[in-house]
Chains A and B, each alone.
Chain A
Amino acid sequence: MKRDKIFYGACILSALGILAAVLGSEISFIFFVTAYLLRPVVMEFGLRVKFVDERERTIHAKSGDVAFVVLIVAMIGFCMLEIAHGRRPEILYELIAIGLAARALTGLVMNGEYKKAGVMIISTVGFFLGLFIIMEGGLSLVSLFGAAVAFVIFGVSQLAKKFPRTVASLIAFIVAVTILKLGLYNFKQVQSALWLFVITPMTISSACLFLGSSKNADDVSPKTAYYVFGALSVCALFIFTMLMVFGSREEQHPTTFKELNPGVATEIQGYHVQGTVNYFENGKLSSCILAREDTVLGQPLPAGTQLNFLIDGRLDIVCLPSDTYIQSYLCKGEGPGTWHTVFYPNGQLKLMWSAKDQWIQGIPCREASFWTDAFGGGVGVHFYPNGKLMQCKLAQDFSLDGHFFKRGQHINFDENGQLVIVKK
């Protein structure tokens, strides 16, 4: 082990981490991670080259590659598990995209062909933006408008080949206006995805086009590039810190938990519960587990059911301890934090995951499982407040009203039970 200044710096950070851990602070984790990442960060930013053994640097780069692949594969695995348990892993999707985008952007920028990099970043943003808008919204008028905007962005990338400085100025202006008008005024108005996948890459593309627009673009010194991208990173850090501090305050409701006496049922806010109980800051229940069969919203639920509430006290999600018949349908349950069953305030089922292939209101609906949900769209069974079936995935080939549906296709109905044909 090389005993240089970085080594001693990491030792100090680790010691602080241990101290924080002893004091019970979770900040210890940050100290340990910083200590571990100190050398690679110093190496990659070229701050103190004399402390870097070149072979060590090669090994760090290779192990970093392996770690990146492992992380992405692990996150894809976690995504599939989350989907299988009835949750949409938005954060994981974003993390995967951040990882891949960061690697691609870094590669493009480090290559040193700044103009080419700028053009490629803009065209990629345009392409993926259009693709995601169509995927999310289908072929509706709104999504077609969004796709048209994405197409314009793609067109701008082609213009950037001829007029890099003009396009760079235009993008810088639009980004600045967006940040000032929407971002700084109210961070919540701008989705984090927009920050991450449109504003950030477009800002980088603008910087690239500026750097690549000079006649001696090949002679841009690494120092200049470091200063430009360093300044951008500092700005990004500031904006994301503001976003995290101010952006999510209203959406996240911190909870506290209380461990109850094991094996003893306790009545809390009208429910007989056991195990761990979570509360919102306003004192209302956030989640609890039923100690015995209880009736919630007029629906008898078995012991072991996890109830999750909204901050205003309304029931949000129910996780059944095992497969259970609810309103005559066998709903999937595998305990707390697994398959979500959701009710409307009137007690009618809103969403359930079928525990077997079963006929629901005359429709053969497919069993929910890891595979049926992960591939080919969601496999949840959705209902209207009046109890009518809204949507399910078919368990077998099926014909209705002269329309033929293949197994695995989704079938949709309106509130009156009339078939709705979704055009693709």
Chain B
Amino acid sequence: MKTNLRKYRFENGELSQQQLADMIGVSRQTIVSIEKNDYSPSVKLALILAKKFNITVEQLFELEEGDIDETR
């Protein structure tokens, strides 16, 4: 899964990871892990993040080739 979180963070006033984390009530490490693709957020957190940037979840996260095969 590809994440565009870093891109949208910078496009929205160059928010720091800590600032974003505080805004949505998670730890900075969670933001770091999502950006590094080490952690897949829950649907709820994905929706909260998308709402924060006024975009859709699909714009924030994209499936990559092979992602669908992995779930089979």
A residues apposed to B, CB below 8 Å: 2, 50, 53-56, 58
A86 to B6, CA, bound (A): 62
Contact partners of B45 in chain A: CB under 8 A: 54
Contact partners of B25 in chain A: CB under 8 A: 50, 53
A58 to B45, CA, bound (A): 14
Can you list 15 A-B contacts (CB < 8 A)? A53-B25, A53-B26, A53-B27, A53-B30, A54-B26, A54-B30, A54-B41, A54-B42, A54-B44, A54-B45, A55-B29, A55-B41, A56-B27, A56-B30, A58-B39
Contact partners of A56 in chain B: CB under 8 A: 27, 30
Q: Which of B26-52 contact A (CB under 8 A)?
A: 26-27, 29-30, 33, 39, 41-42, 44-45
- Closest residue of A by beta carbon distance from B41: A54
B residues apposed to A, CB below 8 Å: 25-27, 29-30, 33, 39, 41-42, 44-45
A14 to B45, CA, bound (A): 32
Nearest 5 pairs of A and B residues by beta carbon:
A55-B30, A53-B27, A53-B26, A55-B39, A54-B42
Contact partners of B27 in chain A: CB under 8 A: 2, 53, 55-56
Q: For chain A, what secondary structure do more than half of its interface residues adopt (helix, strand, loop), or is it mixed?
A: helix
A411 to B30, CA, bound (A): 64
Other contacts beyond A50-B25, A55-B39: 13, CB < 8 A: A2-B27, A53-B25, A53-B27, A54-B26, A54-B30, A54-B41, A55-B26, A55-B27, A55-B29, A55-B30, A55-B33, A55-B41, A56-B27
A55 to B45, CA, bound (A): 10
Q: Return B57 CB to nearest CB of chain A, in Å.
A: 16
Contact partners of B26 in chain A: CB under 8 A: 53-55
- Closest residue of B by beta carbon distance from A2: B27
- Closest residue of A by beta carbon distance from B21: A53
Contact partners of A55 in chain B: CB under 8 A: 26-27, 29-30, 33, 39, 41
> Which of A2, A50, A54, A55 has the most chain B CB atoms closer than 10 A to its own CB?
A55
- Closest residue of A by beta carbon distance from B27: A53
- Closest residue of A by beta carbon distance from B32: A55
- Closest residue of A by beta carbon distance from B30: A55
Q: Return B3 CB to nearest CB of chain A, in Å.
A: 14
A58 to B39, CA, bound (A): 10
A56 to B30, CA, bound (A): 8
Contact partners of A2 in chain B: CB under 8 A: 27
A55 to B33, CA, bound (A): 9
Q: Return A51 CB to nearest CB of chain B, in Å.
A: 9
A58 to B40, CA, bound (A): 11
- Closest residue of B by beta carbon distance from A50: B25
- Closest residue of B by beta carbon distance from A57: B42
A331 to B42, CA, bound (A): 63
Contact partners of A50 in chain B: CB under 8 A: 25
A54 to B33, CA, bound (A): 12
Contact partners of B41 in chain A: CB under 8 A: 54-55
A344 to B54, CA, bound (A): 84
- Closest residue of A by beta carbon distance from B31: A55
Q: Return A411 CB to nearest CB of chain B, in Å.
A: 59
A56 to B42, CA, bound (A): 12
A54 to B45, CA, bound (A): 8
Q: Return B32 CB to nearest CB of chain A, in Å.
A: 10
A52 to B33, CA, bound (A): 16
A56 to B27, CA, bound (A): 8
- Closest residue of B by beta carbon distance from A55: B30
A244 to B2, CA, bound (A): 55
Q: Return B24 CB to nearest CB of chain A, in Å.
A: 10
A55 to B27, CA, bound (A): 9
A56 to B39, CA, bound (A): 11
Q: Return A283 CB to nearest CB of chain B, in Å.
A: 59
Q: Return B34 CB to nearest CB of chain A, in Å.
A: 8
- Closest residue of B by beta carbon distance from A58: B39
Contact partners of B29 in chain A: CB under 8 A: 55
Contact partners of B44 in chain A: CB under 8 A: 54
Q: Return B50 CB to nearest CB of chain A, in Å.
A: 16
A213 to B16, CA, bound (A): 52
A220 to B42, CA, bound (A): 24
Contact partners of B33 in chain A: CB under 8 A: 55
A56 to B26, CA, bound (A): 9
- Closest residue of A by beta carbon distance from B26: A53
